[in-house]
Amino acid sequence: MITFSIVAHIDHGKSSLSQRLLEHCGNIDAAAAVGQDALDTLAVERERGITVKAVSASMVHDYEGQKYLVNLVDTPGHADFAHEVVRSLGACDGALLLVDAAQGVEAQTLKVADAARAAGVPLLAACSKVDLPTANAVDVALDVAARGLVEDPEAVLAVSAKSGLGVADVLDAVCGAFRPPADDGARRRPLRARVLDSRYDPRRGVVSVLRVVDGELREGDRVRFKSADGRSYGVQELGLLTPAQQRTKGLVAGCVGYVACGLRDVRDARVGDTLVADSEAGADAAPLPGGVAPSAPALYASVFPPDGAAFDDMAKAVERLAVNDASVSIAREPPRASLGLGLRLGFLGLLHLDVFRQRLRDEFAEDVLFTAPLVPYRVRWRDGTTTELATLDDWPSAEEQRAAVDAILEPSVTVDVAAPRDHLGAVLEVLENARGAQRSLDVDGDRAAVAYDAPWALVVDGLAEELAHATQGYASLSVRSSPTYVAADVVKVDVALNGVAVDALAFAAARGEAQRRGRAAAARLKAVVPRQLFEVVIQARVGTKSLARERLPPLRKDVLTTKAGKNVGGGDVTRKKKLLEKQKKGKAKQKTIGNVSLGQDALWAVVRSG
């Protein structure tokens, strides 16, 4: 039995190759699967055309006269879901590094290769999309070897998921290179299995994906999770993933499969935990080493139910979805006057936040309200202490900044950007506009690599997309280091409706960018805020200084027309003026007591104002 994962930069053909491998082994019908991706099962994945969850599938392959059970793990390529890659590598015997033969080695290619090395996982390299007219597999293979990703460039495979070229060679190479160390006693040892993933099923409770490391697991066994509170559960159903669930009633050491134990408390099946037998031997069994460390959130956003009374339902849905996405952190949010009770969630990036929001709606029918995200700023006070700004409500006022604040500290990271040499000028321009500071610049043939220190807020707010747009999609970005804090001129921008600041719409920006972003936010809000019977004035401001102003005119009603459709008659104009004045007073009263209903479209308009 062999477990391997496919890792690569985004859009280098991981899911397409995985589909072809499943077709080659007979797991899925090639004719029935035309136009579909068997491993992208989530609605958000099919709608956006991206992979956000690592998915396992077991195949049987003949190699040198023996049958091998090969467990494939298809991983995401976007940097916002790098935690899924790290989690998958921890359970693999090897990894197939896929490199686009037309694009070459990109920033995320090096990032996932470093993650494999850190996990102690051997690498096998392959050039994908070799049938494209612009493909140059030979040069890419030489580049892969020159960067130390493999030793021999001739060992780099050439594959095309579209034509099927080299698909069978991939499985042969995997079985030859990633043979796990022989351990005949593994099945006789007490049960230990690592939890790789979990999801909540309304009918069966929590369903976990795990890899059995020691012993055997069968239906009817009593098991428990090592880090839980000692409760035991009976195994109700288990089997292999092909990727459909195939019930086998038993799993042995080396197998990757699913298990349903009837758990209703999602906190008992955390990713990285160890499943053991509910016996004396299980109690003595040590947890499996090398668990997945919790990911550090890159940004935070607060989430609230549209109806304050529905907080418990929202909290339950968020907790159940977080079981399937272990990189999300959850904490209670202090009550807000305009939104009520909420949760503070940590994400790895804006795309991660947007996908989580869509999954809440698609899978749990929770159409919740997310506030503008905030990277973790800090305040250094003049007395030498430093505090972290958990939310924008904690941002020091203008008076506090003048009297007690020494500096606002902004998180900064080192990013690596890879691009063709012809696009180097565009890359440098984008990074300079992003308040970046150059660390290094290397040009090797037709490729250029740049390292810059840049504000973390701009990195998570679409810097990679901006680089791709400026270079026709050729530039790629990866983050090299964890954030460090530097002093920066950053301000809090409040967004007010009819003079009342809406805390959910506030955001932080560099002082030089505050006016541009404030104008963009006000303009976007004007387009999505519903018109009222009274005038709505939208303002963006820093303290008492107004940066932008937009006016949403009121809905008008012709009060001079009767129900029969006739105008108010009479030759005396004072009667008409009296009716118009009465309407004017009514609108003024409505403006003082009326509430503007804001949906997620309004809140998301501010998020994308950057």
Supply the DSSP string of 161-225, one letter for each residue: TTTTBTHHHHHHHHHHH-PPPP-TTGGGSPPEEEEEEEEEETTTEEEEEEEEEESEEETT-EEEE
Query: What is the pLDDT confidence band of residue 607, given thresholds at 50, 70 and 90?
Result: low
Cβ pair 602, 608 in contact under 8 A: no
Cβ pair 453, 410 in contact under 8 A: no
599/281 Cα distance (integer angstroms): 55
In a 13 Å sphere around the CA of 127, the CA atoms on its Cβ side amount to: 26
pLDDT at residue 31 greater than cutoff 60: no
pLDDT tens digit sequence for 504-538: 788 888 898 899 989 988 888 888 887 777 788 88
pLDDT tens digit sequence for 52-91: 888 888 999 998 888 889 999 888 877 778 788 888 888 8
Higher pLDDT, 556 or 33: 556
In a 13 Å sphere around the CA of 400, the CA atoms on its Cβ side amount to: 11
Q: What pLDDT was estimated at residue 601?
A: 64
Binding site as annotated, residues for GTP: 8-15, 74-78
116/7 Cα distance (integer angstroms): 9
DSSP calls for 38-77: TT--SHHHHHHT---S-EEEEEEEEETTEEEEEEEEE---
pLDDT at residue 561 greater than cutoff 60: no
Q: What pLDDT was estimated at residue 323?
A: 83
Per mean pLDDT, which range of 107-116, 160-169, 179-188, 284-293 is the poorest? 179-188
Q: What pLDDT was estimated at residue 465?
A: 80
Query: How many residues does the structure list for the chain?
Result: 610
**Mean pLDDT, residues 321-335:** 85
Cβ pair 446, 510 in contact under 8 A: no
Q: Which residue(s) pair with 546 in the sheet? A: 541
Structure tokens at 144: 């892969």
**H helix count then E strand count, the chain:** 16, 32
Binding site as annotated, residues: 8-15, 74-78
71 Cβ contact list (under 8 Å, min separation 6): 1, 2, 3, 4, 56, 57, 58, 59, 211, 255, 256
Placement of tokens 């007395």 in the chain: 383
Q: What pLDDT was estimated at residue 412?
A: 92
338/503 Cα distance (integer angstroms): 8
Sign of CA dihedral 318, 323, 325, 327: positive
**Mean pLDDT, residues 257-273:** 82
Q: What is the mean pLDDT of the chain?
A: 83
Question: What type of residue is 574?
Answer: T
Higher pLDDT, 307 or 367: 367
Higher pLDDT, 153 or 34: 153
Question: What type of residue is 364?
Answer: F
pLDDT at residue 560 greater than cutoff 60: no
Residue 513: C-alpha distances to residues 159, 461, 490 (Å): 46, 13, 9
pLDDT tens digit sequence for 293-316: 667 788 888 888 877 668 888 999
Cβ pair 147, 110 in contact under 8 A: yes
pLDDT at residue 589 greater than cutoff 50: no
23-56 burial: b if 16+ Cβ within 10 Å, else e: bbbebbeeeeeeeebbbbebebbeeeebbbbbbb
Higher pLDDT, 339 or 346: 346
Q: What pLDDT was estimated at residue 497?
A: 86
Q: Where are the beta strands (DSSP E) in 329-389?
A: 329-336, 340-347, 369-370, 378-381, 386-388
Query: What is the pLDDT confidence band of residue 591, given thresholds at 50, 70 and 90?
Result: very low
Per mean pLDDT, which range of 299-313, 558-572, 596-610 is the poorest? 558-572
Cα Rg for the chain, rounded, in angstroms?
A: 28
Helix (H, G, I), strand (E, B) or coil at 359: helix
**Mean pLDDT, residues 11-37:** 78
For the CA atoms of 519, 520, 521, 526, the dihedral, rounded to the nearest 10 degrees, stands at 90
**Mean pLDDT, residues 552-580:** 62
**Mean pLDDT, residues 131-152:** 89
pLDDT tens digit sequence for 408-424: 999 999 998 888 888 99
What backbone torsions phi and psi does residue 419 show, to the nearest 5 degrees? Answer: -160, 160
pLDDT tens digit sequence for 88-116: 888 888 999 999 998 888 877 888 888 88
Q: What pLDDT was estimated at residue 502?
A: 81
Query: What is the pLDDT confidence band of residue 34, given thresholds at 50, 70 and 90?
Result: low
